[in-house]
Amino acid sequence: MFEYVFINMDNPLYQQAVDLRYRIFFRPWNIKQEIIFDSYEDTAIHMICLTGGKVNGYARLNYEGQEAILSQIVVDEECRNQGLGSELVKRLVDKARLDKKDRVTLSAKVEATKFYEKFAFVVTGDSFSSPKTGLPHIKMILQL
């Protein structure tokens, strides 16, 4: 059974979350791990999904005024297609709603737009190259 937990950067499980994000998002493109520590990291609300002490999924949420920014949603390859990513998105959207934000935005990989559309996110604008990886992304928004 998977457990979903909010953590801070002092939590021992935080490093596992960093390692998971790096392994999936950045190492395949030979990008240094330091890229994870961007301007959002220190102020983010970090959520992990774990089982047996192992971090299997992660997502973070940041606030800028009435906007909630969802980012770095990742699930370990061994745990995909079990609803972990969906649960992370749902829980962080619920957190934004609870905190009375007006909208949630994210930058999705173009091929992941259908996943986010299941939660009523809509595409806004044209695709662009991610400044971190160069991969095509597109901005999406969910009005709360």
The CATH number for 102's domain is 3.40.630.30
Answer whether residue 5 shows pLDDT above 90.
yes
Per-residue model confidence (pLDDT) at position 130: 87
Extract the tokens encoding 63.
């606030």
Number of other CB atoms surrounding residue 81 within 10 Å? 7
Q: How far is CA 53 from CA 4, 8, 15, 27, in A?
A: 12, 16, 12, 23
96 lies in which domain range? 3-143
Q: What is the pLDDT of residues 89-139, one digit of tens each?
A: 999 999 999 999 999 999 999 999 999 999 999 999 899 998 888 889 999
Answer whether residue 18 shows pLDDT above 90.
yes
Per-residue model confidence (pLDDT) at position 101: 99
The residue-averaged pLDDT of 1-23 equals: 96
- Report the domain count for the chain: 1
pTM above 0.85, yes or no: yes
Answer whether residue 33 shows pLDDT above 90.
no
